[in-house]
Structure 1
Amino acid sequence: MTDIHPAWRTPWRNMRWAFVAIWMLFLGYPLGAVIGSDHSAPVKAIGYALVGAFALVYLLASVYVLSGRTGPDRRGVPVFGVLALLTIGLLPIIGEGAFGTAPFLMVVAAFTFPYGWAATTICGVVVCALAIPAIAGWEQDLGLVVVLVAVGFTMLGFRTIAMRENERERAEERRRELDAELAVVAERERVARDVHDILGHSLTVITIKTELAGRLIDLDPQRAKAEMSEVNQLARDALAEVRSTVGQLRTPDLPSAIAGAESALLAAGITADLPGRNIHTPNGSLFAWVLREAVTNVVRHSGASRCVVVIDDTSITVRDNGSGMGASGFGNGLRGLTERVESAGGTLSVTSDADGTAVTAVTAVRT
């Protein structure tokens, strides 16, 4: 059976749509009006079909358009148009009972139209609820009009609150991004200072000692030799300190990690099934860390003859056909990798049995 496309499947998993769709219970009013009408069975069947179609369109709109919406969405215009046409189709069948669908029209307008258009549309729906029964000579239900006014302006109030909350969240997100950028700048400045201090001090001492050794080479060769030995040690220490300092900022890139994994696996006699090195993913740096740690474990512990790596925009899986982890469980490497993936908003899972081990990291795409 053909699988459902992820773009259609994912919104249904987010149950926020249920809080919008639950109001479909109030479609019982126009449905009851159809049931209680004096029309023939074929006309009633048309009424049932219109109410059912209205429910289906609103349900789909709840999932794909209204759920989590707090601002203008062009998709709301055709949704509103279809629902309005279905309501108009119900008018000849159940008369003023068709306005039982009006609150749903108001919800769509309030949460998907620009604010001014939403207010205008809601007022227009209320006016229609007053004017159409008067023109058609139907009994005027002022209670329904009051309910529509209350619902309409309540929806606009919710829209206003949601817009303010969204603005607050965006401001908070901008603040966090700025704090992160400032932290990066501060860290770079710290590293620059460290490198400067290390090299400045070390090179100054090395310069002095080499000059001293040059003057002593004829006068006291043994002392000159000792000075040069100290110069050699100073240079080694400075190099180690520079590597340690710079290493704190280094992050692996995915193409290099793939090349390194291939080299390590082939050197260990393990067949490597890897993606091409020209692969691009928004999570390349994170996946490079996962690949390095997982392949290191494969080489050291798995006893595998084959390793397969699969990478896409949101996940990486490293699978081997080795003997499994047994009772060893997570070591420091996998624990640290789990923390790294979780700090990036993802999850790391490790499955292991007698047929091998699979390490999978899944994270959201960052744009």
Structure 2
Amino acid sequence: MIAIQENLIHPKSIGPALAPTSPWRSGRWVFGAVWLFFMVYPAIGIVTSDGAIVEKVFGMAMISAFAVIYLLLCVYSMFVGEAEEKLSPATRTAAVAILVALMVASMPLLKTSAFAMAPFVMAAIAFAAPWKGRYALIGIVTIIAAAVAVPEFFGWELDSGFLIVMIIVGITMLFSRVMRDAQRDRETVVERQRALNAQLAVVAERERVARDVHDILGHSLTVITVKSELAGRLVDLDPGRAKTEIDEVTALAREALAEVRSTVGNLRTPDLTNTIAATESALAAADITADLPHVDGYASTIYEGPHATLFAWVLREATTNVVRHSGATRCEVTISTDAITISDDGRGSPVLTYGNGLRGLAERVEAEGGRLTVSSDATGTTVAARFDDR
């Protein structure tokens, strides 16, 4: 079983939908921000320069502004997913432009030491700028070319070792950008396929319902039509037989009505056995390997027990979440007389967003004296309903 932290859901304690994890709390931004340590070199260059106090203060202010803007890009755009980005494309473009401007503005005071900011600018171009890959390539190549041309033009000395480091950093950033874009493209294709599979599953279910309704009503209505026409012809010729035919039509109509009500009731109140079959179909359509219980392997009392209908509701809602949101490749369902557990290996989260589905499900479970638990982390999610003291 997946080792995950379990969160007990009580309907009364479930508030508004929880927001995604704060980018400050995620820790991913540290990967980019840790490199700000190297900003100490231009800072030392300013302190040890021959400039006036005012120039040094202005230079330190520019370096501080550079570090703050870079850090904000790390937190809100550079090292988060597309769904978590807080900055608009125009804002990200403006932030990158400001970084470039601050680097250029510091050159009169720092000279070649100003290019110590170049790796940060290249990282911002590669990961935060909303441009396509080829524009990121142009931006990084331009910075590297400037690191060669500007010192040559002004007669400054540029450490060849530092230039090599810039080239290596630029190549690494470009390669990482290409890999990230390729990964996002693959994820987009997978998500579109999952959405298509989910739609196909819905269409298949609708077709099944249509077939059931047709099979139920088609025969009955055909017989009713034939008998009604026959009774109409026999009213004057053989009233006794006409009455018999009318009685049979009435019986058939009542039987058809009962069958329709039963069908509609099954749609509203799911049957556990049928829900398991529908779950298998939905997971297969979404290319998710399913490990489901089968009637042959379980006691019939599980499927006909006091919690069977509720377990069907739990299974239906959990499966819907797995197909739509998890990105899982495997889903396991276990059922006993007093518990049902649905586990997947998809994209979990320590902080779950509880929508109307889970909230309503928790209310159903509590109303019958049970408890619903949802536990999730990066290795997957588990939804369980229990009616014991475990």
Tell me the CA shift for residue 338 of structure 1. 9.5
1:340 pairs, out of 317, 336, 352, with: 317
Tell me the CA shift for residue 210 of structure 1. 4.4
Query: Structure 1 residues 93 and 331 mapped into 2: Cα distance closer, same or farther (>3 Å)?
Result: farther
Give yes or no for the alignment of 1:75 onto 2:130: no
Tell me the CA shift for residue 141 of structure 1. 0.6
Tell me the CA shift for residue 99 of structure 1. 0.8
Give yes or no for the alignment of 1:57 onto 2:69: yes
Tell me the CA shift for residue 193 of structure 1. 1.9
Tell me the CA shift for residue 153 of structure 1. 1.5
Tell me the CA shift for residue 142 of structure 1. 0.8
Alignment partners' CA distance in 1, 2:65 and 2:308: 57
Q: Is the 8 A contact 1:65 1:75 kept in 2?
A: no
The residue number in structure 1 matching 2:125 is 109
Tell me the CA shift for residue 333 of structure 1. 5.9
The residue number in structure 2 matching 1:281 is none
Tell me the CA shift for residue 230 of structure 1. 4.2
Tell me the CA shift for residue 224 of structure 1. 6.3
Deviations 1:181-232 (A, max 9, x none): 22222222222222222112112333444466664997684x7666544433
* Aligned pairs (5 A) from 1:148-297: 148-210=166-228, 215=234, 221=240, 228-246=246-264
Alignment partners' CA distance in 1, 2:237 and 2:28: 86
Query: Structure 1 residues 334 and 49 mapped into 2: Cα distance closer, same or farther (>3 Å)?
Result: farther
Deviations 1:293-331 (A, max 9, x none): xxxxxxxxxxxxxxxxxxxxxxxxxxxxxxxxxxxxx99
The alignment's C-alpha RMSD in Å is 3.9
2:156 is matched by which residue type in structure 1? W
Alignment partners' CA distance in 1, 2:266 and 2:24: 43
Query: Structure 1 residues 178 and 104 mapped into 2: Cα distance closer, same or farther (>3 Å)?
Result: same
Tell me the CA shift for residue 138 of structure 1. 2.5
Alignment partners' CA distance in 2, 1:172 and 1:244: 38
Query: Structure 1 residues 79 and 146 mapped into 2: Cα distance closer, same or farther (>3 Å)?
Result: same
Structure 1: which 5+ residue stretches go unaligned? Answer: 1-5, 252-329, 352-367
* TM-score, normalisation: structure 1: 0.61
Tell me the CA shift for residue 242 of structure 1. 2.4
Alignment partners' CA distance in 2, 1:338 and 1:139: 69
Alignment partners' CA distance in 1, 2:216 and 2:19: 53
The residue number in structure 2 matching 1:263 is none
The residue number in structure 2 matching 1:137 is 155
2:260 is matched by which residue type in structure 1? V
The residue number in structure 1 matching 2:328 is none
Tell me the CA shift for residue 110 of structure 1. 2.0
Tell me the CA shift for residue 102 of structure 1. 0.1
Query: Structure 1 residues 96 and 131 mapped into 2: Cα distance closer, same or farther (>3 Å)?
Result: same
Tell me the CA shift for residue 246 of structure 1. 4.8
Tell me the CA shift for residue 160 of structure 1. 1.0
Alignment partners' CA distance in 1, 2:200 and 2:316: 23
Q: Is the 8 A contact 1:103 1:148 kept in 2?
A: yes
Tell me the CA shift for residue 151 of structure 1. 0.9
Q: Is the 8 A contact 1:110 1:156 kept in 2?
A: yes
Structure 2: which 5+ residue stretches go unaligned? Answer: 1-17, 270-306, 326-352, 364-390
2:30 pairs, out of 18, 23, 27, with: 18
Structure 1 range deviating more: 47-56 or 113-122: 113-122
The residue number in structure 1 matching 2:371 is none
2:317 is matched by which residue type in structure 1? R
* TM-score, normalisation: structure 2: 0.57
